Amino acid sequence: MATLKDVARLAGVSVKTVSNVVNGYSFVKPDNRRRVEAALEATGYRPNLGARNLRRGRTGFIALVLPELSIPYFAELAGLVIAAAQEHEWNVLIEQTFGTLSGERLALASLGPHLVDAAILSPEALQADDFQLSVPAVLLGEHAVDVPISRVGIDNVAASMAAVRHLISLGRTRIAAIGAHPQRGTAALRLEGYRAALAEAGLDFDPSFVVPALNYHRADGAAAMKSLLDMRNPPDAVFCFNDLLAIGAMRAAAERFVRVPRDLAIVGFDNNEESVYSSPSLTSIAPDKAAIASAAVDLLHARAGSPDLVLDDVQTPFSLLVRESTVVR
C-alpha cells in the first residue's frame, strides 16, 4: 500500500507537499501539483485513515448501540443511520446489547474517545449512573431516567393516544394494551397515552387489560395475547407497544380462530415493512425513521464541533397508518 512517502519520492517533492495536495491546500505550484497528482494516480494512494485520525485527534467513527439487529425496527434504523452518517464522513460501528443491563454496560464501557467520536444509544435497562460517557451521545427512544443527554424521538404519549383514539373511534370499548415494562421509559409513556385516551373517552381503565412484555419479540406478543384471550371477558381491541408484539398477537388470535379485525382490532407501533404484508395487514403508528436517524447524526455532528453542552430534544413526526387489522370490510 502506497504511503505519502512513496508518492513524494515518485513526484520528487516532500511528503508535506503531497499532503498539501491531498488536502486541497491552495498554494502549490501548478507544475508540482500536476506531478503529485500523477504520482497519486500512479501509486493508487489512499490515505491511512488510522494515522490521519490519530494525528487529527478524531476517529472517524460513531457508535450505534442498540438491542439487536434481528429486530426489524433497529435493522431499518441502523441502515438509515449508516446512510446519514456517510454525509458527515462517519463510519458506523454497531454494538448489540441484547437489551440486557450487562450488555448495555459492556457496550458503553467499550466506547472510549479513542474508538468513536460520538454515540447513538438505544438503551433499555440502563440506570442514571451508568451514563458516564466520554463522548457526545444522543439517546433514541426515551430517557429511562433523568440524564443530561439529548434525545431524538417521537412524542410517545401523543402517538399512543392517536392509536387508542382510533380504536375507540371504531366503537371498541374493551381495549387492552400489550407491552408494559417496569424499566423502559418508552413503555411508561405509551401506557400513559393509552390511559389518557381511555380517560378522554370516558372509558374505565382496567389494570387486568394491561399485559407486560419483557422482550418485545413476536413470542412475547403471542403469549400476552393468549393470556388475554383466556380471560372470561376478553378485549375487543388491543394496542401493542410495537409491531412485533402485534404480529405475535395476531398469530395467537388466528390460532384461537379469533377474527381480526371483526372480533378483535389490533394496532401496532413502529410500522415495520413486515406489517404491510401480514394477513391481515397491521394498522400501526409510523415514526419517521429517516428523520430520527438524520436528526440523531446531525445533532452529534453539531455537538462534535462545539462541545458546549447544548441539550435539546428533537421531536420527529409520526403518523397513524390504518390497515386491515382495524377496519372491518
Partner DNA sequence: CATCGTTGTTCCAACGATGTAAAGACCGAG
Partner DNA sequence: CTCGGTCTTTACATCGTTGGAACAACGATG
Q: Which residues bind a second copy (CB under 8 A)?
A: 1, 46-51, 53-54, 59, 68-70, 72, 75-76, 78-79, 82-83, 91-96, 112-115, 134, 218, 222, 247-248, 250-251, 254, 273-274, 276-279, 281
Which residue, 93 or 149, has its beta carbon nearer to a second copy? 93
Residue 91 interacting partner from DNA, a second copy, none (CB closer than 5 to 8 Å by kind): a second copy
Q: Which three cell numbers stand for residue 307?
A: 462541545
- Candidates 34, 38, 41, 51; binder of DNA (CB under 7 A) is 51
Rule CB under 7 A: say whether 42 interacts with DNA. Answer: no
Rule CB under 7 A: say whether 59 interacts with DNA. Answer: no
Pairing of strands 283-287, 318-321: antiparallel
Secondary structure element (H or E) that encloses residue 10, with its range: helix 4-11
Considering only residues 86-125, where is the footprint of DNA by CB under 7 A? 114
Rule CB under 7 A: say whether 56 interacts with DNA. Answer: yes
Q: Residue 10 CB, nearest distance to DNA (Å)?
A: 13
Rule CB under 7 A: say whether 309 interacts with DNA. Answer: no
Residue 304 interacting partner from DNA, a second copy, none (CB closer than 5 to 8 Å by kind): none
- Candidates 34, 38, 41, 48; binder of DNA (CB under 7 A) is 48
Residue 314 interacting partner from a second copy, DNA, none (CB closer than 5 to 8 Å by kind): none
CA–CA separation, 220 vs 217, rounded Å? 5
| Cα Rg of the chain (Å, integer) | 25
| Long-range Cβ pairs for the range 259-265 (8 Å, 24+) | 260/324, 260/325, 261/170, 261/324, 261/325, 261/326, 261/327, 261/328, 262/328, 263/236, 264/234, 264/235, 264/236, 264/237, 264/238, 265/167, 265/170, 265/172, 265/236, 265/237, 265/238, 265/325, 265/326
Secondary structure element (H or E) that encloses residue 321, with its range: strand 318-321
Q: Which three cell numbers stand for residue 163?
A: 392509536
CA–CA separation, 51 vs 59, rounded Å? 10
Q: Residue 52 CB, nearest distance to DNA (Å)?
A: 4
**Residues forming the site for DNA (CB under 7 A):** 1, 3-5, 13-17, 19-20, 22-23, 26-29, 31-32, 45-48, 51-52, 54-57, 114
